[in-house]
Protein backbone atom coordinates (compact mmCIF):
# COMPACT_ATOMS: atom_id res chain seq x y z
CA UNK A 1 0.00 0.00 0.00
CA UNK A 2 1.33 3.47 -0.83
CA UNK A 3 2.00 6.04 1.88
CA UNK A 4 -0.81 8.42 2.80
CA UNK A 5 -0.44 11.83 1.16
CA UNK A 6 -0.92 13.37 4.60
CA UNK A 7 -0.88 11.74 8.02
CA UNK A 8 -1.15 13.18 11.52
CA UNK A 9 -0.42 10.87 14.43
CA UNK A 10 -1.15 11.83 18.02
CA UNK A 11 -0.85 15.54 17.34
CA UNK A 12 -1.14 17.74 20.42
CA UNK A 13 -1.10 21.51 20.72
CA UNK A 14 -1.51 23.75 23.74
CA UNK A 15 -1.45 27.53 23.67
CA UNK A 16 -0.43 29.69 26.61
CA UNK A 17 1.36 28.77 29.77
CA UNK A 18 0.30 28.36 33.35
CA UNK A 19 -3.06 27.29 34.67
CA UNK A 20 -4.95 30.48 33.85
CA UNK A 21 -3.79 30.90 30.28
CA UNK A 22 -3.46 27.34 29.09
CA UNK A 23 -5.65 26.22 26.19
CA UNK A 24 -5.32 22.61 25.09
CA UNK A 25 -6.43 22.92 21.50
CA UNK A 26 -5.53 19.54 19.99
CA UNK A 27 -5.59 16.46 22.20
CA UNK A 28 -4.02 13.68 20.21
CA UNK A 29 -5.35 14.07 16.67
CA UNK A 30 -4.67 11.25 14.23
CA UNK A 31 -5.85 11.16 10.62
CA UNK A 32 -4.64 10.01 7.22
CA UNK A 33 -5.56 11.06 3.68
CA UNK A 34 -4.86 8.79 0.72
CA UNK A 35 -3.80 10.30 -2.60
CA UNK A 36 -6.89 11.24 -4.61
CA UNK A 37 -9.12 11.40 -1.56
CA UNK A 38 -11.30 14.36 -0.55
CA UNK A 39 -12.12 14.52 3.14
CA UNK A 40 -14.44 16.99 4.83
CA UNK A 41 -13.40 18.41 8.19
CA UNK A 42 -16.41 19.50 10.19
CA UNK A 43 -15.85 21.35 13.44
CA UNK A 44 -17.80 23.69 15.69
CA UNK A 45 -16.23 27.10 16.18
CA UNK A 46 -13.20 27.00 18.45
CA UNK A 47 -12.73 23.22 18.14
CA UNK A 48 -9.20 23.67 16.81
CA UNK A 49 -9.83 23.50 13.06
CA UNK A 50 -7.49 26.34 12.09
CA UNK A 51 -4.80 25.02 14.40
CA UNK A 52 -5.11 21.58 12.83
CA UNK A 53 -4.91 22.97 9.28
CA UNK A 54 -1.89 25.11 10.18
CA UNK A 55 -0.05 22.15 11.68
CA UNK A 56 -0.96 19.88 8.76
CA UNK A 57 0.32 22.56 6.36
CA UNK A 58 3.60 23.01 8.27
CA UNK A 59 2.73 26.59 9.19
CA UNK A 60 2.87 25.64 12.86
CA UNK A 61 4.52 22.86 14.84
CA UNK A 62 2.79 20.44 17.22
CA UNK A 63 3.90 20.03 20.85
CA UNK A 64 3.73 16.28 20.39
CA UNK A 65 2.93 13.86 17.60
CA UNK A 66 3.96 13.37 14.01
CA UNK A 67 3.06 15.07 10.72
CA UNK A 68 3.91 13.11 7.61
CA UNK A 69 3.80 14.30 4.02
CA UNK A 70 4.03 11.39 1.60
CA UNK A 71 5.32 9.19 4.39
CA UNK A 72 8.07 11.63 5.40
CA UNK A 73 8.09 12.84 9.01
CA UNK A 74 8.28 16.62 8.85
CA UNK A 75 8.42 17.34 12.58
CA UNK A 76 12.13 16.87 13.04
CA UNK A 77 13.09 18.78 9.92
CA UNK A 78 14.64 22.22 10.00
CA UNK A 79 12.82 25.41 9.08
CA UNK A 80 14.26 25.44 5.58
CA UNK A 81 13.12 21.93 4.75
CA UNK A 82 9.67 22.65 6.17
CA UNK A 83 9.35 25.88 4.19
CA UNK A 84 10.38 24.12 1.01
CA UNK A 85 8.00 21.23 1.64
CA UNK A 86 5.17 23.67 2.33
CA UNK A 87 5.84 25.56 -0.88
CA UNK A 88 6.26 22.52 -3.11
CA UNK A 89 3.89 19.97 -1.63
CA UNK A 90 1.03 21.80 0.07
CA UNK A 91 -1.61 24.11 -1.40
CA UNK A 92 -3.82 26.34 0.73
CA UNK A 93 -7.19 27.84 -0.04
CA UNK A 94 -8.98 30.13 2.36
CA UNK A 95 -12.49 31.52 2.60
CA UNK A 96 -11.16 34.82 1.31
CA UNK A 97 -8.80 34.37 -1.57
CA UNK A 98 -5.91 36.67 -0.55
CA UNK A 99 -4.92 37.23 -4.16
CA UNK A 100 -2.34 39.97 -4.68
CA UNK A 101 -4.40 42.98 -5.82
CA UNK A 102 -1.71 44.62 -7.92
CA UNK A 103 -1.10 41.54 -10.06
CA UNK A 104 -3.24 39.98 -12.76
CA UNK A 105 -4.91 36.59 -12.37
CA UNK A 106 -2.19 35.06 -14.55
CA UNK A 107 0.57 36.62 -12.47
CA UNK A 108 -1.04 35.50 -9.23
CA UNK A 109 -0.85 31.89 -10.46
CA UNK A 110 2.60 32.24 -12.03
CA UNK A 111 4.34 33.87 -9.06
CA UNK A 112 4.39 30.89 -6.66
CA UNK A 113 5.93 28.80 -9.41
CA UNK A 114 8.61 31.39 -10.02
CA UNK A 115 9.31 31.46 -6.28
CA UNK A 116 9.89 27.71 -6.57
CA UNK A 117 12.42 28.24 -9.37
CA UNK A 118 10.30 27.87 -12.52
CA UNK A 119 11.11 30.35 -15.29
CA UNK A 120 8.58 33.08 -16.07
CA UNK A 121 7.52 31.74 -19.45
CA UNK A 122 6.93 28.17 -18.27
CA UNK A 123 5.15 29.48 -15.16
CA UNK A 124 2.83 31.61 -17.28
CA UNK A 125 2.06 28.74 -19.64
CA UNK A 126 1.05 26.54 -16.73
CA UNK A 127 -0.89 29.40 -15.14
CA UNK A 128 -2.87 29.91 -18.34
CA UNK A 129 -3.57 26.17 -18.61
CA UNK A 130 -4.90 26.08 -15.06
CA UNK A 131 -7.03 29.19 -15.55
CA UNK A 132 -8.42 27.70 -18.78
CA UNK A 133 -9.17 24.49 -16.90
CA UNK A 134 -11.40 26.27 -14.37
CA UNK A 135 -13.04 28.52 -16.94
CA UNK A 136 -11.38 31.84 -16.15
CA UNK A 137 -8.80 31.72 -18.95
CA UNK A 138 -10.36 34.66 -20.80
CA UNK A 139 -9.99 36.76 -17.63
CA UNK A 140 -6.29 35.96 -17.12
CA UNK A 141 -5.14 39.52 -17.79
CA UNK A 142 -7.44 41.11 -15.22
CA UNK A 143 -6.59 42.07 -11.66
CA UNK A 144 -8.64 40.48 -8.86
CA UNK A 145 -10.77 43.60 -8.34
CA UNK A 146 -12.14 43.21 -11.88
CA UNK A 147 -13.21 39.59 -11.27
CA UNK A 148 -16.36 38.23 -9.64
CA UNK A 149 -16.14 36.42 -6.29
CA UNK A 150 -16.40 33.03 -7.94
CA UNK A 151 -13.76 33.94 -10.51
CA UNK A 152 -11.43 35.17 -7.78
CA UNK A 153 -11.88 31.95 -5.85
CA UNK A 154 -11.17 29.87 -8.95
CA UNK A 155 -7.95 31.86 -9.47
CA UNK A 156 -7.08 31.08 -5.85
CA UNK A 157 -7.55 27.37 -6.61
CA UNK A 158 -5.19 27.68 -9.56
CA UNK A 159 -2.63 29.44 -7.40
CA UNK A 160 -2.89 26.73 -4.73
CA UNK A 161 -2.36 24.03 -7.37
CA UNK A 162 0.30 25.82 -9.39
CA UNK A 163 3.23 23.94 -7.86
CA UNK A 164 1.49 20.55 -8.18
CA UNK A 165 1.07 19.96 -4.45
CA UNK A 166 0.23 16.50 -3.18
CA UNK A 167 -1.99 17.92 -0.44
CA UNK A 168 -4.61 20.66 -0.60
CA UNK A 169 -5.79 22.23 2.65
CA UNK A 170 -8.90 24.34 2.37
CA UNK A 171 -10.65 26.42 5.02
CA UNK A 172 -14.25 27.16 4.02
CA UNK A 173 -13.16 27.64 0.41
CA UNK A 174 -16.66 28.45 -0.80
CA UNK A 175 -17.85 30.17 2.36
CA UNK A 176 -18.25 33.63 0.86
CA UNK A 177 -19.86 32.52 -2.41
CA UNK A 178 -23.52 32.27 -3.35
CA UNK A 179 -24.88 28.69 -3.54
CA UNK A 180 -24.64 28.40 -7.31
CA UNK A 181 -21.07 29.71 -7.52
CA UNK A 182 -20.09 27.66 -4.49
CA UNK A 183 -21.39 24.58 -6.25
CA UNK A 184 -19.42 25.36 -9.38
CA UNK A 185 -16.16 26.10 -7.53
CA UNK A 186 -16.52 22.96 -5.43
CA UNK A 187 -17.14 20.94 -8.60
CA UNK A 188 -13.82 22.19 -9.96
CA UNK A 189 -12.07 21.20 -6.74
CA UNK A 190 -13.48 17.67 -6.86
CA UNK A 191 -12.61 17.26 -10.53
CA UNK A 192 -9.01 18.24 -9.82
CA UNK A 193 -8.83 15.81 -6.90
CA UNK A 194 -10.09 13.01 -9.11
CA UNK A 195 -7.85 13.85 -12.05
CA UNK A 196 -4.58 14.64 -10.34
CA UNK A 197 -4.51 12.34 -7.31
CA UNK A 198 -4.42 15.35 -5.01
CA UNK A 199 -5.48 14.69 -1.42
CA UNK A 200 -7.82 17.40 -0.12
CA UNK A 201 -8.77 18.21 3.46
CA UNK A 202 -11.64 20.69 3.30
CA UNK A 203 -12.95 22.39 6.43
CA UNK A 204 -16.57 23.32 5.94
CA UNK A 205 -19.81 23.92 7.80
CA UNK A 206 -21.72 23.07 4.66
CA UNK A 207 -23.12 19.56 5.10
CA UNK A 208 -24.21 19.29 1.48
CA UNK A 209 -20.61 19.86 0.37
CA UNK A 210 -19.31 17.47 3.04
CA UNK A 211 -21.63 14.79 1.67
CA UNK A 212 -20.06 15.11 -1.77
CA UNK A 213 -16.61 14.22 -0.43
CA UNK A 214 -15.32 10.72 0.23
CA UNK A 215 -15.77 10.91 3.99
CA UNK A 216 -16.15 13.31 6.89
CA UNK A 217 -13.98 13.80 9.94
CA UNK A 218 -15.52 15.62 12.88
CA UNK A 219 -13.31 17.61 15.21
CA UNK A 220 -14.77 18.37 18.62
CA UNK A 221 -12.88 19.94 21.52
CA UNK A 222 -9.57 19.04 19.95
CA UNK A 223 -10.36 15.41 19.18
CA UNK A 224 -11.52 13.52 16.12
CA UNK A 225 -14.87 11.93 16.98
CA UNK A 226 -17.17 9.69 14.91
CA UNK A 227 -18.89 11.75 12.20
N1 LIG B 1 -2.20 31.90 19.63
C2 LIG B 1 -3.15 31.50 20.49
N3 LIG B 1 -3.01 31.69 21.81
C4 LIG B 1 -3.96 31.30 22.69
N5 LIG B 1 -5.10 30.67 22.33
C6 LIG B 1 -5.31 30.45 21.03
C7 LIG B 1 -4.34 30.85 20.03
N8 LIG B 1 -4.83 30.48 18.82
C9 LIG B 1 -6.02 29.91 19.05
N10 LIG B 1 -6.31 29.87 20.35
C11 LIG B 1 -7.51 29.27 20.98
O12 LIG B 1 -7.51 27.91 20.63
C13 LIG B 1 -8.83 27.45 20.35
C14 LIG B 1 -8.89 26.85 18.94
O15 LIG B 1 -8.54 27.85 17.99
P16 LIG B 1 -8.70 27.60 16.40
O17 LIG B 1 -8.41 28.90 15.75
O18 LIG B 1 -7.90 26.43 16.02
O19 LIG B 1 -10.24 27.26 16.34
P20 LIG B 1 -11.20 27.00 15.09
O21 LIG B 1 -11.81 25.67 15.33
O22 LIG B 1 -10.49 27.23 13.83
O23 LIG B 1 -12.28 28.12 15.31
P24 LIG B 1 -13.17 28.94 14.23
O25 LIG B 1 -13.92 27.93 13.44
O26 LIG B 1 -14.04 29.79 15.12
O27 LIG B 1 -12.19 29.75 13.43
C28 LIG B 1 -9.73 28.64 20.54
O29 LIG B 1 -10.28 28.56 21.84
C30 LIG B 1 -8.79 29.83 20.44
O31 LIG B 1 -9.26 30.90 21.20
DSSP letter for each residue of 170-192: EESTTTTS-HHHHHHHHHHHHHH
- For ligand 1, whether the C-beta of 197 sits within 6 Å is no
Indicate which residue's Cα is closest to atom 1 of ligand 1: 15
Per-residue model confidence as pLDDT tens for the chain (227 residues):
679 999 999 999 999 877 678 889 999 999 999 999 999 999 998 899 999 999 999 999 999 999 999 988 887 788 888 888 998 899 999 887 789 999 999 999 999 999 999 999 999 999 999 999 888 999 999 999 999 988 999 999 999 999 999 999 999 988 888 888 888 888 988 998 998 899 999 999 999 999 999 999 999 989 998 77
The full set of domain ranges for the chain reads 6-225
- For ligand 1, whether the C-beta of 47 sits within 6 Å is yes
For the question of an ipTM over 0.85, the answer is: yes
- For ligand 1, whether the C-beta of 222 sits within 6 Å is no
Return the CATH class of domain 6-225. Answer: alpha beta
Rg (the chain; Cα; Å): 18
Question: How remote is the CA of residue 24 from the centroid of ligand 1, in Å?
Answer: 10
Choice from 51, 175, 204 to test ligand 1 binding pocket (greatest atom count within 8 A of CB)? 51
- For ligand 1, whether the C-beta of 13 sits within 6 Å is no
- For ligand 1, whether the C-beta of 44 sits within 6 Å is no
Question: How remote is the CA of residue 15 from the centroid of ligand 1, in Å?
Answer: 9
Please tell me whether residue 98 adopts helix, strand or coil conformation: coil
Instruction: Check residue 97 and give its pLDDT.
Output: 76
Instruction: Check residue 18 and give its pLDDT.
Output: 73
- For ligand 1, whether the C-beta of 15 sits within 6 Å is yes
Indicate which residue's Cα is closest to atom 6 of ligand 1: 15
- Strand 199-203 and strand 167-171: the pairing is parallel
Instruction: Check residue 38 and give its pLDDT.
Output: 97
Please tell me whether residue 49 adopts helix, strand or coil conformation: helix
Q: Are 13 and 51 in contact (CB under 8 A)?
A: yes
Catalogue the long-range contacts made by 148-151 (C-beta closer than 8 Å, 24 or more residues apart): 148/181, 149/176, 149/177, 149/178, 149/181, 150/177, 150/181, 150/184, 150/185, 151/105
Instruction: Check residue 1 and give its pLDDT.
Output: 62
Amino acid sequence: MSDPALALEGVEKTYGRGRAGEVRVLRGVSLALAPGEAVALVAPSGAGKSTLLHIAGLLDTPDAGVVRLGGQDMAGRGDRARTQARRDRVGFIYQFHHLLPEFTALENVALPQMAAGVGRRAAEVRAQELLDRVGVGPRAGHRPAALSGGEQQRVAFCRALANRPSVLLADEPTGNLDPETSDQVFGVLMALVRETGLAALVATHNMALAARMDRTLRLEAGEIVPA
